Amino acid sequence: MKKILIVDDQPEVRELVDVTLSSEDTHIIKAASGEEAVEVTRGESPDLIIMDIMMPGEIDGLEATRILKSDPRTRNISILLLTAKGQDRDIEKGLEAGADAYFIKPFSPLELIHKVEEILGT
């Protein structure tokens, strides 16, 4: 059973990703901001985090990625950035922050499933 954390401030997007990735093998938990993402991750230790970048609050998706990736407790949790920011520079920044994958919105749910399976090794 893989625990997947979905982080996006927009409820529709959260629902979309949830519908896409829900299955017998997955347990979906959700967060709506960067701070929440860090908190929940520390508490729940998901196997994968799917994170939007542009979120309100002090910590956006990139910052949350950095925090989690520099914390020994959460370093090994895979993070996939799912964002509308699609410029080369943005991708660079995302990967520099420590993300393991980068997906641009709008996305194909099937492709996302494939990528998640790849990351989780299922």
Residues lying near another protein in the complex (CB under 8 A): 9-10, 12-13, 15-16, 19-20, 54-56, 84-86, 105-110
Beta carbons within 10 angstroms of residue 72's beta carbon: 6
Least separation in angstroms between residue 60's CB and another protein is 9
> Which CB atom, from 13 or from 95, has the smaller least distance to another protein?
13
> Please, which residue, 16 or 37, has the CB nearer to another protein?
16
Nearer to another protein, 84 or 117 (CB): 84
* CB proximity list for 122: less than 8 A, separation 6 or greater: 2, 25
> What span, in angstroms and rounded, lies between the C-alpha atoms of 103 and 5?
15
